[in-house]
Amino acid sequence: MLRLTQHRQSILDLINASNRHWDADEVSRALSDAGQAVGIATVYRGLAALEAAGLLDSIQLADKKRYERADKAHHDHMICTECGHIEEFIHETIEALQLSAAKERGFVLTGHQLTMFGRCKSCDKQE
Amino acid sequence: MLRLTQHRQSILDLINASNRHWDADEVSRALSDAGQAVGIATVYRGLAALEAAGLLDSIQLADKKRYERADKAHHDHMICTECGHIEEFIHETIEALQLSAAKERGFVLTGHQLTMFGRCKSCDKQE
DNA sequence: GGTACGAATGATAATCATTATCGTTATCAT
DNA sequence: ATGATAACGATAATGATTATCATTCGTACC
Ligand SMILES: [Mn+2]
Ligand SMILES: [Mn+2]
Ligand SMILES: [Zn+2]
Ligand SMILES: [Zn+2]
């Protein structure tokens, strides 16, 4: 179903080559800088299509959605409210407890997002 | 610092009298229906001020922010993607594990949000 | 009671991320 | 090559939230 066009391949390659969490505008700018400008609407559509195909993951932040590689194990995020640093963490026990909490309530889980906010190690030192 | 004006008191009373998670527009409409119309900008400002004062809690969803009473114990949410039902749950172990996961990384936590998505018991039966 | 000043209000414009539209173009199967 | 279908790009539209700014309110002080 998914047509992996040149544009979509560029988007995917860009994100797969990094460990960042990209928003649509950052992707658009990076592609422009690389001489592969793509219309912003196409970036939005491409990101959504790639995620639907399981080739990208995303996290929904308060103001915008950010995309990242999907070839890593599932993880959650810790975000520094000072510098914006996003740290990833995997916690199997928390994952398992979520599943059982859902099951107890007759909820069939399709996804979840755990985001923690605070000050990262280096920002906390400075103040 | 916070002036608990008539308008803000109305907003607070409305939310405190319920167990729902309200968005700004719903608050505005409910106040209008009750004959206490308040400008939508005032609703937004009131909600933000009440939350800053600790009198309301909120959850950030993909498209909008929803406010709820703050006089309940901290809890997280399970949201049915079929019917929109929001179920609350408290899980002390998950809370504790989050704290230690943060500490391990030198992160000083200021908040977190755990949202699970899926189908609730009744929606799951039907299909 | 009258004054003064900062905060709150309301109407509305502005912002910003995202989606919709629509004419054009690329892709793929036959 | 042809035709059907999906993708693209420019741009308008949407929707939640915030900014502006003139007016009004609340309160501390005389
Ligand atoms: Mn990540
Ligand atoms: Mn709640
Ligand atoms: Zn930091
Ligand atoms: Zn449901």
What's phi and psi for A2, nearest 5 deg? -80, 125
The answer, yes or no, to whether residue B112 has pLDDT greater than 70, is yes
What per-residue confidence (pLDDT) applies to A1? 66
- Work out the number of other CB atoms within 10 angstroms of the CB of residue A126: 8
Burial class (CB in 10 A: 0-12, 13-18, 19+), A74: exposed
Residues of chain A with CATH 1.10.10.10: 6-69
Best mutation target among B107, B109, B115, B119 (most A Cβ atoms within 10 Å) is B107
Encoding tokens for residue A79?
């975000």
Cα(B84)–Cα(B120) distance, integer angstroms: 9
pTM for the full predicted model: 0.93
Residues of chain A with CATH 3.30.1490.190: 76-125
A100 touches chain B (CB under 8 A): no
CATH 3.40.50.261 fits B76-125, yes or no: no
Cα(A95)–Cα(B93) distance, integer angstroms: 12
Q: Over the stretch A17-50, which tens digit does the pLDDT of each residue have?
A: 999 999 999 999 999 999 999 999 999 999 999 9
A60 CA distance to ligand 3 middle (Å):
19
Instruction: Tell me the pLDDT band of B1, cut-offs 50, 70 and 90.
Output: low
DSSP 8-state code for residue A36:
-
B119 touches chain A (CB under 8 A): yes
Four-way CATH pick for A6-69: 2.60.260.40, 1.10.150.530, 1.10.10.10, 3.30.70.360: 1.10.10.10
Instruction: Tell me the pLDDT band of B127, cut-offs 50, 70 and 90.
Output: confident
Instruction: Tell me the pLDDT band of B2, cut-offs 50, 70 and 90.
Output: confident
Higher pLDDT, B117 or B2: B117
Q: Over the stretch A82-114, which tens digit does the pLDDT of each residue have?
A: 999 999 999 999 999 999 999 999 999 999 999
| β-bridge partners, A69 | A56
